[in-house]
Amino acid sequence: MMKGFTAAQSREHQRAWTEKGWDCAVARGNYDRSRERLNFEIAKGGIIRPIDKSISIPKRMAKTLAERGITDPNEGLEEPKFRTVVDFILSGSQERMREMAFGTQEVVYEPGNNTENYSLRRMPEIEHWARDMYDFVCDRYGEENIIGFYVHMDETTPHLHCTILPIENRKFAFKKMFAGKDKYEYKQKTAALHDAFAEVNRPWGLARGTSITQTEARHMPVEQYRRYLEELCATKEEELFNLHKALSAIRTEMSTAERRIKGLTTMVGNLENERSGKLDQIANLQRQIANSEGDKAELEKRIRGLQTEVNEVDEKLADKQGKLTEADRKYEELKADMGYVEERTGELRQSAMEYSRQAQSGVASFIKDAMLESMVSDYQQRSPALSASDQQLFDDSTLQSISEKGNEVMQCATMLFLGYIDQATTFAEGHGGGGGGSDVKWGRDDDEDNCQWARRCLAMANKMMKPSVGRGRRR
């Protein structure tokens, strides 16, 4: 889900890199240039063909919108703010995807340019699978909305990128088609889409993983996740450092190229002036012959000599113009490489900042957990020494409730936060609670943020976990 599509993303999807771009890609990723020739795209009508690099994805998008008479809502904005592109990455288990792509052939999956892979053939099975995916997307979102459908076989796991425009009834409708009116509807739409893709993948032996809500599987521990984020940050920083070095090298090469272009331009200009002067001399001698001024044989001899000199200048001029054209081409390549590196640097810097924020957020969670545990421990240690009247001050308080039934209160509050009211009620009643009150209106307010909602859920869970005489099932 993106606000447009960048030139850098397009070059990655189409593998439309320069030599420098390929060097950067191989250095930072898992690309194998020897297998790039096996990549393919599916074009209109389900036609399988080599990837067409002649027109970028942003230009395809603009062309498609112009042909359909649809305006890009981000057009003219300094910063795009509307989600106009959805990019699916479709794949499966590594073993099965490799089997469909290469069969039983021996494959080197290391990044670089592995000469052992130049004899590889693409298996028909991967093409049939990709066409099934294409047909599914066409049926669901319309073939006219597909602007890129590329299958990559030059990375560790074969996969495809499907880029579509979220357009319905000739209007961009991302929220209606994908997001829904709130996060709950978005979750439902996403789950339904995964289910639908799973059905299409089933005949290919690509099973969908079971949802965590069904298996109750646990994510990696918070400490391990924090270390994982810190390692990601370090990797991003290292890549940023390498990109800065690449950028510096490109700038040096561009400076050299600019000087070469300037020198060749001066040479071409001087040769053109020299040629023009000799042609003027020839024209003047021809005029003298026409007017019978001087020895005709001598004048013709001088003309032949000047013509020879003009031919020599023409050869030099052609050579310098050819070199100038080549220098201009290399300079434009360097500009494109610089643009790619600058875009990638910006993307990396943004993702590194995001991972850093997530890592810091994980630390904040540790601090909050430690603070809560410390408060509860202090209360449990000190409360026996309090007088009866002092202890009454904590009656019905969240601190007392968490100290006595901390895990139960937290679990009940979590269910309330997720909207599982019946389950929270049943859980409270099954653990000695029942103080929620059947007449209490419960639900999240429209203008309530996560923190406010969490505090209310904790307060309600505290109330629900308190015992009541003669309780029945509460809502």
In this predicted model, which residue has the larger pLDDT, 26 or 101?
A: 101
Q: Residue 139 pLDDT more than 50?
A: yes
Q: What are 394's two structure tokens?
A: 């904590």
Q: What is the pLDDT of residue 175?
A: 83
Q: What is the pLDDT of residue 207?
A: 66
182's enclosing H/E stretch is: none
In this predicted model, which residue has the larger pLDDT, 330 or 143?
A: 143
> Phi and psi of 111, rounded to 5°?
-70, 155
Q: What is the pLDDT of residue 437?
A: 54
Sheet containing strand 40-43, edge to edge, reads 47-49, 40-43, 146-152, 159-164, 86-90
82's enclosing H/E stretch is: none
Give the mean pLDDT of the chain. 81
Domain boundaries, the chain: 7-217, 237-364, 390-464
- Given its phi and psi angles, is residue 41 left (phi above 0), alpha (psi -120 to 50 degrees) or beta? beta
In this predicted model, which residue has the larger pLDDT, 45 or 424?
A: 45
pTM over 0.85: no
Cα separation, 252 vs 246, whole angstroms? 10
Is the separation of the CB atoms in 462 and 454 below 8 Å? Answer: no
In this predicted model, which residue has the larger pLDDT, 440 or 368?
A: 368
N-terminal to C-terminal alpha carbon distance within the chain? 38
pLDDT in tens, 240-290: 666 677 777 778 888 888 999 999 999 999 999 999 999 999 999 999 999
Is the separation of the CB atoms in 152 and 161 below 8 Å? Answer: yes
Q: What is the pLDDT of residue 212?
A: 36
Q: Residue 85 pLDDT more than 60?
A: yes
Is the separation of the CB atoms in 40 and 32 below 8 Å? Answer: no
Mean pLDDT to the nearest integer, 20-37: 85
- Which of 107-121, 127-141, 344-358, 393-407 is predicted with the least confidence, judged by mean pLDDT? 344-358
DSSP state of 471: -
- Helix/strand/coil for 156: coil
Amino acid letter for position 352:
A
7-217 CATH: 3.30.930.30
Q: Which of 144, 140, 183, 117 is nearest to 60 (CA)?
A: 144
Is the separation of the CB atoms in 65 and 5 below 8 Å? Answer: no
Q: How confident is the model at residue 24 (pLDDT cuts 50, 70, 90)?
A: confident
Q: Residue 154 pLDDT more than 90?
A: yes
pLDDT in tens, 167-201: 999 999 888 888 777 766 777 887 788 888 888 88
- Which of 20-24, 36-40, 164-168, 182-186 is predicted with the least confidence, judged by mean pLDDT? 182-186
Q: Residue 145 pLDDT more than 50?
A: yes
Q: What residue has token string 């969908």?
A: 208
Q: How confident is the model at residue 463 (pLDDT cuts 50, 70, 90)?
A: confident
Mean pLDDT to the nearest integer, 232-246: 65
Q: Residue 219 pLDDT more than 50?
A: no
> Phi and psi of 128, rounded to 5°?
-65, -40
Q: SS3 sequence, 199-264?
A: HHHHHHCCCCCCCHHHHCCCCCCHHHHHHHHHHHHHHHHHHHHHHHHHHHHHHHHHHHHHHHHHHH
Query: Can you name the CATH fold of 237-364?
Result: Helix Hairpins (1.10.287)
